[in-house]
Amino acid sequence: MRFYVSDLDGTLLDPQAQLSSRTRSGLTELLLEGLPFTVASARNVVSMRRILEGLPIRLPVVSSNGAYIADLTSGRYELVNAMEPALGQAIFALVRRHGLMPFVATHGPSGDQLFWQTVSNEGQQRFVDERERQADPRLRRTERMQDELRDPVVTLLVVDAAGPLRALQAEIEAQFGDQVITHLADDIYMPGWPWLNVHDRRASKDQAIASLAQRYGLLGRELVVFGDQVNDLPMLRAAHHAIAVANASDDVKRAAHRIIGPHHEDAVLHYIAQDWQMLRGG
């Protein structure tokens, strides 16, 4: 048997960042039949719960690019991979030396918090506006970001033009490459303002999926994954069956074993439904 994991944005979700009615109803039917399926996303579990509400996913989800394994219904974390405060502080100082200001997500005794200090471009403003519109309970405005780095850091996110972000990414990897993982990719909902995400080295989708599979007795199953962006590459490379949607980036397509239709045509649902039926002898 197989075990299925899909990315969300640009893969399972439609262009409005929602589950289409067809994908929702189709996945619900398959999950009730016993389909072993979950999702792995850069999104925080708060956002994932809103989008996937009502979908009977029994397995934990992978959120924040592998920083968390969480129960979708309760939001309870089963695993947290975050940077020690000293490392987060050092990377923050490097970001500031480049003249940039990150958003910082932390996890500590007060729970999850997402801090922002200032915005200086359209991409950053959209990030804040979207989270305010969704009433994200993590969002906090701060006067001094450095004062908020006492807890473990889940993510440092910098939104800016590609050139400055590439230079910053290169220096982060040169100085801290053995301690962190970085992802630089366009915001698919606002092209022109890419995101640079920095996570603890243990926080990747492939490592989180491996931990989940071990905890839930799935190691003996073939892993089937679906993705579209650079942060999906680790799990595609670890999968027995790596599937890219037609709208995926070129590097994801090169890493895939198969390319299916685009995300706005319910391509992931179609593939899973056919594969699941075949495996069950239908």
Give percent of the chain with pLDDT exceeding 90: 94
Range of the domain at 152: 85-200
Residue 202, sorted as left (phi over 0), alpha (psi -120 to 50) or beta, turns out to be alpha
Arithmetic mean of pLDDT, 48-63: 96
In this structure, the answer to whether residues 41 and 144 fall within a common structural domain is: no
In this structure, the answer to whether residues 90 and 195 fall within a common structural domain is: yes
In this structure, the answer to whether residues 115 and 175 fall within a common structural domain is: yes
- pLDDT at res. 131: 94
User: Do 196 and 182 meet the contact criterion of CB atoms below 8 Å apart?
Assistant: yes
CATH code, domain carrying 58: 3.40.50.1000
224 forms beta bridges with: 4, 241
Of 200, 225, 255, the residue that ends a domain is 200
- Alpha carbon distance 235, 47 (integer Å): 21
In this structure, the answer to whether residues 212 and 270 fall within a common structural domain is: yes
3-state secondary structure of 110: coil
In this structure, the answer to whether residues 121 and 71 fall within a common structural domain is: no
The DSSP secondary-structure symbol of 257 reads: S
Give the residue among 100, 258, 82, 118 at the shortest CA–CA distance from 184: 100
In this structure, the answer to whether residues 214 and 75 fall within a common structural domain is: yes
CATH code, domain carrying 115: 3.30.1240.10
pTM of the model: 0.93
Over residues 158-214, the pLDDT tens digits come to 999 999 999 999 999 999 999 999 999 999 888 999 999 999 999 999 999 999 999
Of 200, 218, 240, the residue that ends a domain is 200
Give the residue among 133, 105, 82 at the shortest CA–CA distance from 195: 105
- Alpha carbon distance 257, 254 (integer Å): 8
Split into its structural domains, the chain has a count of 2
Q: Is the pLDDT of residue 282 over 80?
A: no
SS3 readout for 26-69: HHHHHHHCCCCEEEECCCCHHHHHHHHCCCCCCCCEEEHHHCEE
Of 171, 200, 229, the residue that ends a domain is 200
In this structure, the answer to whether residues 95 and 187 fall within a common structural domain is: yes
- Alpha carbon distance 105, 125 (integer Å): 17
The residue assigned the tokens 């990315």 is 7
In this structure, the answer to whether residues 89 and 76 fall within a common structural domain is: no
CB proximity list for 242: less than 8 A, separation 6 or greater: 225, 227, 236, 255, 256, 257, 258
In this structure, the answer to whether residues 108 and 48 fall within a common structural domain is: no
Q: Which two tokens stand for residue 171?
A: 């220096």
In this structure, the answer to whether residues 165 and 237 fall within a common structural domain is: no
Over residues 227-239, the pLDDT tens digits come to 999 999 999 999 9
Residue 281: pLDDT band (50, 70, 90) is: confident
In this structure, the answer to whether residues 275 and 177 fall within a common structural domain is: no
Alpha carbon 195 to its chain's center: 12
In this structure, the answer to whether residues 130 and 99 fall within a common structural domain is: yes
